[in-house]
Amino acid sequence: MGETLLFGDEMTIDDIIWMGQQQTLTEKAALSGISKLLPFDQLFDYLKKAIKIHSITFLPINRTIKYCLGNCLIAPLICFNHL
């Protein structure tokens, strides 16, 4: 079976001041059964490597994300202007 990864960044001090104390992303991932957490800035490199080896399936609800990620893999500068 495959591996479940979560890409995201922990809250900054500004986030904590704005939203108050919350569970860390690591804690939320553990509660969801996800043991591997990677920084968000590694997502596109991970996908570029993975797409060479495996097909990547996007759920229908994520079509907008699929479009954006597809553009990021093809033309990252264009995509980051839309995020």
DSSP 6-74: EE--PPPHHHHHHH-S---HHHHHHHTT--EEE-GGGHHHHHHHHHHHS-----GGGHHHHHHHHHHHH
pTM over 0.75: no
pLDDT digits (tens, 9 = 90+) for 19-75: 898 999 999 999 998 888 999 999 888 888 888 887 776 555 555 666 666 656 554
Q: How many CA atoms lie within 13 A of 77 on its CB side?
A: 0
pLDDT at residue 63 in the model: 56
pLDDT on residue 60: 58
State residue 51's pLDDT score. Answer: 80
Domain ranges of the chain: 1-38, 39-83
Residue 29 CB contacts under 8 Å (≥ 6 apart), including other chains: 6, 35, 37
**What pLDDT score was predicted for residue 78?**
42
Please work out, in degrees rounded to the nearest 5, the angle formed at the alpha carbon of residue 76 by the alpha carbons of 73 and 81: 135
